[in-house]
Amino acid sequence: MAPSAIAAAGTGSEAASTDYGDALALRERRFAAALLAPAFLALLATTTFPLMFLIWTSAFRMDLAMPFTNGFVGFENYRVLLSDERFWSSLLVSLVYTGSTVALQVVIGLALALLVMDMKRGQGWFRLIAILPVVLSPAVVGMIWRTFMLAPEFGIVDFLSINAGLGSQNWLGDPVLAMVSVIAIHTWQWTPFAFMVLLASLASLPEDIYEAARLDRASAWQRFRRITLPLLRPAIVMVVIMRTMVALTAFAAIFTVTAGGPGTATEILNLYAYRKSFTELSIGYGAALAVALLIVTIIISGILFALRRAK
Amino acid sequence: MTSFTPTRRTLLKTGTAAAALATFAPAVLRQAAAQDADLSPYKSAKIDWQQTKGETITVAVIPASYFENLIALAPQFKELTGIDVRFEKIPPAQIRQKSVIDLTSKTGTYATHAADPMYYALYAANKWVEPLDTYLNDKSLTDSAWFNVDDIIPAWRSANGINGKLYGMPYDGEVTIQVYRKDLYDAKGLKPADTLEAYVANAAALNAPNDRIWGAALRGVAGAGQNMYIYPSIFREFGGDWMKGGKLTVNGPEAEAALAWYVDVMKKYAPTAAANWNWPDIADAFSQGTVASYIDAHSSASVINNPEKSKVIGKVAYARWPKGPSGKRTTSIWNWGFPINAALPDKKKKATWLFIQWAASAETQARTAHRFAGPTKRAGVNRTSIWKDPDYIKLMNGFGPNFVEATMDALQHDTDVDWRPRVPQWPAIGDTMATAIQSALSGQVTVKAALDEAQRRIEPMMRG
């Protein structure tokens, strides 16, 4: 939107002499461009410029530990990246994390929404309570889960597990359990978002179709499968797109809960880029990892948007 | 009849006066408080403390009692030198990154900061900090007889030096020692371990998870300053050498034996949760009586002797690190030191040096330790002379039998400057090793695979 307004203001000058109406329109456009300019410049300075700088940095070797080796290396960082096993394994962790959290959020969110739709009383309260996890900072959520919920012997989850006869588990110390834990935490925090969106669109579905279906003796499953799901499709796809983008770039919760551990079991790509840049101080390579994450995110959301348009 | 009608001018005057009063009143009050303190021990130094009067410097420290005590004395420093010190408290997890960002951008935000000794190689390679020798040898800046740098614990000075040049002045430090429950050991007739083997045997004898007592605990959480703080001692005790043949080597038979020992102790005799524990968690568990022994910093003694939280006061004793198969004992060499930021203008550098000299002087060390008025005293003073001061020894022995002896033995006999690989790439190496140790501990990969993988990752880091 912003670039087109600027462009419009720029090309307006030829039309200026024709008549008063055009001149007025031109002034209007100039005024609009002037109003837009500060926001546009701020956006440029805070998002576009840093992004360009990141891509620029990724073409350098910038290693604070060995300043004498710094210099322009072109695509060298990307060549190294493609043969870096830890890059591929962290990408895989990212994809597993994103895929499973998004699927769980949509399924649980939809189930909850369907359940709550039929609630006669207390719907408002339920919605209010359900939204609470969303407003918490992911870092705080991470700390709470790490200390109160998942700590062996002392945590609530472990307490339940012991009482259920499953025994005490090392929730964050075992590679598989740690992955399950971070997925559960993300799902716990963000399912309410999917739930709220789906509940809102469920409420807006026309009642008469269902009535017609009931008259035709469609079963509950058939009504859900043939009416509710297709009608909810745009909302579901929207939830999937938004949650996928956020899950791919998740950071705070995993960082505070496992910091990518044990070993590298929960090290998502974002975390690996962070470690490379700020712990290992290889800024150039870290930037290349961040660009790789950007590319992955763009591809995946491109596919999702294409799916949304299809049909 | 004259009535008082405020003109513009009088209003301005009153306003200015009021503003001045509001600005200076707290300073005046502070000064009044500082005047109570006797500055003559400092004034006996033959230097002009006031030579950079009016400067303001910012010092980054971590929120810890040993720095809080120093901050409490800052008004005395202000009165002595006329230099304003602004302290910024940054948690230990972030202080390294924040100072590296400040140093690399050359903004000179932090005149000095509490620095990790493992970072001096990186700082020196980039010329981010100044060698302190220049300042120590400058007669207008340092009275060497008064400051007596040789009194500062030699192990810490060597840890903060690169190629014989000192880059950071030790302020507070620690060594790792054995901490054990004397009552439990006595009940079973056990003695504190003299060898790593005996340590495992003791842990096995006392390990009774069903009675909620575990035999031992070591730092398990991944981090260059966490599991990679304990493992290097074991590695060295098993005869490991970081720079084998001049090449940084982290795998090999000694490393495998050392890591296997660590994993074995943690898996068999430590609480499951210890895999994610850092030292405060270990000290907490120990003070609740659930851990029979641990090897960690001597300074954790203040946590396990905290009367409000600890259930084991009076039941604790201390010993040096057990010997490894190589016959060596290797403790940690850790201290928070103060370097001088090279990006500062000359006058600020001098002011920073005066601050460092003041903070590291025997007088300030004593005033923040046994002579400190507040409730928390320091356990990591930087002066050999203070460690021999009967008042200080009396205070430290309150932590339990053999505390001062174990600490002093560790400091004098068990230190090893090559305890961890001191290279500019340390941040990357420390993190890689921390990940490898945790992978092995969690069973994600075998000990050998974890170390070989770490070696494979570290090799390209060392290539120019």
Alpha helix positions (H), B313-425: 346-360, 362-368, 384-387, 390-397, 403-413
Residue recorded with tokens 């090793």: B433
Per-residue confidence band for B228, with pLDDT thresholds at 50, 70 and 90: very high
Inside any domain, residue A70: no
pLDDT confidence of B93, banded at 50, 70, 90? Answer: confident
pLDDT band (50, 70, 90) for residue B437:
very high
User: How far is B128 from B130, CA to CA, in rounded Å?
Assistant: 7
Dist. CA B285–CA A307, nearest whole Å: 53
Residues A243 and A196 in one domain: yes
pLDDT average, residue stretch B269-273: 91
* B444 C-beta neighbours (distance < 10 Å), count: 21
Fold classification of B176-330+402-462 is D-Maltodextrin-Binding Protein; domain 2 (3.40.190)
**Whether residue A188 sits in one domain with residue A48:** no
Highest mean pLDDT pick, A303-307, B97-101, B137-141, B222-226: B137-141
In a domain, A65, yes or no: no
CB contact under 8 A, B273 and A281: no
Whether residues A86 and A52 fall in one domain: no
Per-residue model confidence (pLDDT) at position A131: 86
Q: What is the distance of C-alpha B280 from the center of its chain?
A: 14
- Examine the pLDDT at A171 and tell me if it is beyond 80: yes
Task: Say if CB A114 and CB A96 are below 8 A apart.
Answer: no
Compute the mean pLDDT over every residue in chain B, rounded to the nearest whole number.
Answer: 90
Which pLDDT value is given to residue B464? 62
pLDDT digits over B448-463, tens only? 999 999 999 999 888 7
The predicted model scores a pTM of 0.82
Same-domain check for residues A149 and A252: yes
Q: Which one, of B82, B30, B34, B35, lies nearest residue B56 by Cα? A: B82
Q: Is the pLDDT of residue B353 over 80?
A: yes
Q: Widest CA span of chain A, in angstroms?
A: 85
What's the pLDDT score for residue A307?
A: 82
Of B275, B427, B464, the CB nearest to A262: B275
- With a CB cutoff of 8 Å and minimum separation 6, the contacts of A222 are A213
Q: What is the percent of chain B where pLDDT is above 70? A: 92
CA B122 → CA A68, B71, B336, distances in Å?
Answer: 12, 28, 16
Looking at the structure, do residues A84 and A181 belong to the same domain, yes or no?
yes
Nearest CB neighbour to A170, from listed B272, B438, B461: B272
A132 and A173 part of one domain: yes
Q: A105 with A156, same domain?
A: yes
What mean pLDDT is predicted for residues B392-396? 91
* 8 Å CB contact between B382 and B170: yes
Q: Are residues A103 and A211 in the same domain?
A: yes
Which residues, other chains included, contact B162 with Cβ-Cβ below 8 Å and sequence gap of 6+?
Answer: B120, B121, B124, B422
* Residue A152 confidence class, pLDDT cut points 50, 70, 90: confident
Chain A residues in contact with B444 (beta carbon < 8 A): 175, 262-265
The verdict on a CB contact (< 8 Å) between A261 and B425 is no
Query: Which pLDDT belongs to residue A2?
Result: 43
| Average pLDDT value for chain A | 87
Give all strands (DSSP E) within B62-175, no chain letters.
84-89, 112-113, 161-162, 165-166, 169-174
Residues of B in contact with A275 (CB under 8 A): 431
H or E stretch including B56?
strand B56-61
Taking a C-beta distance cutoff of 8 angstroms, is the pair B439, A291 a contact? Answer: no
Question: Residue type at A158?
Answer: D
Which of the 8 DSSP states describes residue B320?
P
Q: What is the pLDDT of residue A192?
A: 93
A243, A151: one domain: yes
Cα–Cα distance list, A52 to B289, B308, B377 (Å): 56, 55, 51
Give the structural domain span for A48: 2-57
Ranges A158-167, B345-354, B414-423: which has the least confidence: A158-167
* Rounded-to-integer distance, Cα B113 and Cα B59, Å: 5
Residue A13 clears pLDDT 80, i.e. is over it: no
Q: What angle do CA A126, A132, A136 make, to 5 degrees?
A: 170
Interface of A with B in 247-266 (CB under 8 A): 259-265
How confident is the model at residue A5, as a pLDDT? 44
Q: Is A75 domain-assigned?
A: no
pLDDT at A160 over 60: yes
Residue of B nearest to A278 (CA): B97
Please say whether the structural domain B43-173+334-387 has been given the CATH code 3.40.50.150: no
Answer whether B97 touches A (CB < 8 Å). yes
pLDDT at A154: 76
For residue A189, what pLDDT is reported? 93
- For residue A29, tell me if it sits in a domain: yes
- B/e letters for B356-392, b = 16+ CB within 10 Å, e = fewer, are bbbbbbbbbbbbbbbbbeeeebbbbbbbbebbebeeb
Percent of chain B clearing pLDDT 90 (strictly above): 75
**Count, residues in chain B:** 464
Domain parsing of chain B, residue ranges: 43-173+334-387, 176-330+402-462
Asked if residue B279 lies in contact with residue B304, where contact means CB atoms within 8 angstroms, the answer is: no
In a domain, A67, yes or no: no
Most A-contacting residue of B128, B162, B433, B442 (CB-CB within 10 A), to test interface: B442
Judge if A8 and A103 occupy the same domain. Answer: no
Instruction: Report how far residue A185's alpha carbon sits from residue B43's, in angstroms, rounded to the nearest whole number.
Output: 59
pLDDT-derived band of residue A15, with 50, 70 and 90 as boundaries?
Answer: very low
CB distance A151–B126 less than 8 Å? no
pLDDT at residue A162 in the model? 86
Return the residue of A nearest to B445 by Cα.
A263
pLDDT of residue A17: 53
Q: What is the pLDDT of residue B34?
A: 46
The enclosing domain of A187 has a CATH number of: 1.10.3720.10
Asked whether the predicted pLDDT for residue A241 surpasses 60, the reply is yes
Q: What is the pLDDT of residue A18?
A: 67
> At CA B38, angle to CA B32 and CA B39, rounded to 5?
100
A155 & A282 share domain = yes
| A299 bridge partner residues | none
A311: confidence class by pLDDT, cuts 50, 70, 90: low
The number of distinct structural domains making up chain A is: 2
Which of the residue ranges A64-68, B12-16, B22-26, B210-214 has the most confident prediction, judged by mean pLDDT? B210-214
Smallest CA–CA distance, residue A82 to chain B, in Å, is 15
